[in-house]
Structure 1
Amino acid sequence: MTPAVDHYDRLLAEHYSWMLGGDVPGLVPTQRELLLDLGVAPGTGGGFAVDLGCGPGHTSLALAALGFETVLAVDLSRPLLAELTDYAREVPAVRPVLADVRTVLRERVPVGTVDAVVCLGDTLTHLPSRGDVAALLNDVAAALAPDGVAVLSYRDLTVPLTGTDRFLPVRATDDRIMTSFLEYPDDDNAYTVVVHDLVHTRRDPGDDWTLRTSSYRKLRLSHEWVKRQCRTAGLRVVGDHQTTGGGLRTVALRLVG
């Protein structure tokens, strides 16, 4: 079993943009509208935003498109940050940073200065422990400016899938097929789920398929638990959305008071 960052370096980073559809800049307008709908805007002062777990950067680029003057794009995957750097060559607001999302706010962001913190995809469930999630929420609350907003998204994997429902098709094209398989271990008191990613690739249609695999654990975070931790950190939920299928939850948060 590998940590999430090693899993990305070994397998997933190479295919991540393809998983998103293969056109990262093309995702920016939709992501910009999503952020706007959630109340993310730079305001009159230009704005400072932090994108935790930025990946190849479609959200960071969307924040820049919204008008934020500085977008700190944070990830631990060097290949994904390299992709973002290429996309952002003409976008000086975006500043890629190789750093751990668990510590970057405390180490690099002055208290009370951030207008928007976003942590999308499944970044929260990639953290090693629920304690890390709770600590990160405290850091988010400390970093936010009084009128700032935070947006989190994560999958609620607390209800186990069974049988063939545990096989999740990700994407398939002529040269690549990706499937994930979920395993619920009985050694951790329902704390994590083991994700097995299987990627078949071939160079030409007549070639044999080559299979590469890697596995890692993701946290099982219930939606109610995350909202309780937000309240404990001093954050109130001002928006709460769920996508159909996949269990992805998105919450928008502001400081209490």
Structure 2
Amino acid sequence: MTTAVEHYDRFLAEHYTWMLGGDMPALAAAQRAYLAGLGVGDDPAGPLAVDLGCGPGHSSLALAGLGFDPVLAVDLSRPLLDEVAAHAVGVPAVEPVHADLRAVLRDRVGPGGAGVVVCLGDTLTHLPTRGDVAALLGGIRAALAPGGLAVLAYRDLTEPLTGTERFLPVRATEDRIMTCFLEYPEDYDDYTVVVHDLLHTRGGPADGWTLRKSSYRKLRISHAWVLGQCRAAGLRVTEERVGPGGMRTVVLRHATGSWGR
């Protein structure tokens, strides 16, 4: 069993942009429109944005496109940060940062230094423990300026899938097929789910398929629990959405700040 970082560095990172659709400018444009629709960029509380678990950088580019400068693109995967740097050539606002999510807000931002913090793409479930999630939410609250905005996106994996429902298609093209399989082991009770990523690739139409596979554990955190932890941290929930694949998006404000909503 690998850690989340090992899984991304050794297996997933090189395919991550392809999994999202493959066209980084289009991905960044779509993310910019989505974040703008959530109110990101409207009367920002400050120019600094932080993208926690930035992946290949589409959200960081979107934040820069919304006028934030600088944008700290934070991840522990060096291959993904290298990709961010390549995509951000000509976008000096985006700064790739190799750092642990649990420390970067304290070390690089400080109290009240950020206008917006986003943590998207199921990044919360990659943290080791639920205590780490709660601590990160407290760190986000501390880092936000009064009236600052936070956006979280994560999946509630607390209800086990059964049978063939555990097989989740990710993407398929003529040379790559990605499938995810979820396993709910008894050894960790209701605390984690084991994610098995299965990738079939081939060099051309006449070539055979090659299978690569890798597994890691993700946290099972309920939507109700996350909302409770947000409120306990001093973050006010202003909007909730449910998207494809059960991805939940929560928009939050610094609870002691002012806002026009």
Name the structure 1 match of 2:255. 256
Deviations 1:84-120 (A, max 9, x none): 1011110010000011111111111121010000000
C-alpha separation in 2, matches of 1:242 and 1:158: 16
Name the structure 1 match of 2:124. 124
Structure 1 stretches lacking a partner, 5+ long: none
Cα deviation for residue 247 of structure 1 reads 1.4
C-alpha separation in 2, matches of 1:72 and 1:44: 16
Cα deviation for residue 37 of structure 1 reads 1.5
Name the structure 2 match of 1:56. 56
1:43-82 equivalences under 5 Å are 43=43, 47-82=47-82
C-alpha separation in 2, matches of 1:221 and 1:44: 30
Does structure 2 retain, via aligned residues, the 8 Å contact 1:169–1:180?
yes
Q: How many residues get paired? A: 256
C-alpha separation in 2, matches of 1:192 and 1:24: 31
Deviations 1:32-59 (A, max 9, x none): 1111111111647861100000011000
One-letter code of the match for 1:208?
G
Structure 2 stretches lacking a partner, 5+ long: 257-261
Does structure 2 retain, via aligned residues, the 8 Å contact 1:53–1:101?
yes
C-alpha separation in 1, matches of 2:246 and 2:219: 14
1:99–1:42 CA distance, 2 compared to 1 (3 A)? farther
Q: Secondary structure at the match of 1:102?
A: helix
Deviations 1:171-220 (A, max 9, x none): 11111111000000111121110000000111111111111100000111
Name the structure 2 match of 1:206. 206
C-alpha separation in 2, matches of 1:129 and 1:44: 31
TM-score, normalised on structure 2?
0.96
Q: Secondary structure at the match of 2:117?
A: strand
Name the structure 2 match of 1:111. 111
1:170–1:45 CA distance, 2 compared to 1 (3 A)? closer
Name the structure 1 match of 2:40. 40
Name the structure 1 match of 2:90. 90
Q: Secondary structure at the match of 1:187?
A: helix
Q: Secondary structure at the match of 1:111?
A: coil
C-alpha separation in 2, matches of 1:51 and 1:123: 11
One-letter code of the match for 1:133?
V
Q: Secondary structure at the match of 2:205?
A: coil
State the identity %.
68
Deviations 1:140-183 (A, max 9, x none): 00000002100000001111111001000101111111100000
Moved over 4 A (4+): none
Does structure 2 retain, via aligned residues, the 8 Å contact 1:46–1:69?
no
Deviations 1:2-37 (A, max 9, x none): 110000011100110100011112111211111111
Does structure 2 retain, via aligned residues, the 8 Å contact 1:42–1:48?
no
Does structure 2 retain, via aligned residues, the 8 Å contact 1:17–1:24?
yes
C-alpha separation in 2, matches of 1:233 and 1:46: 20
Does structure 1 retain, via aligned residues, the 8 Å contact 2:44–2:116?
no
Cα deviation for residue 256 of structure 1 reads 1.5
C-alpha separation in 2, matches of 1:242 and 1:55: 21
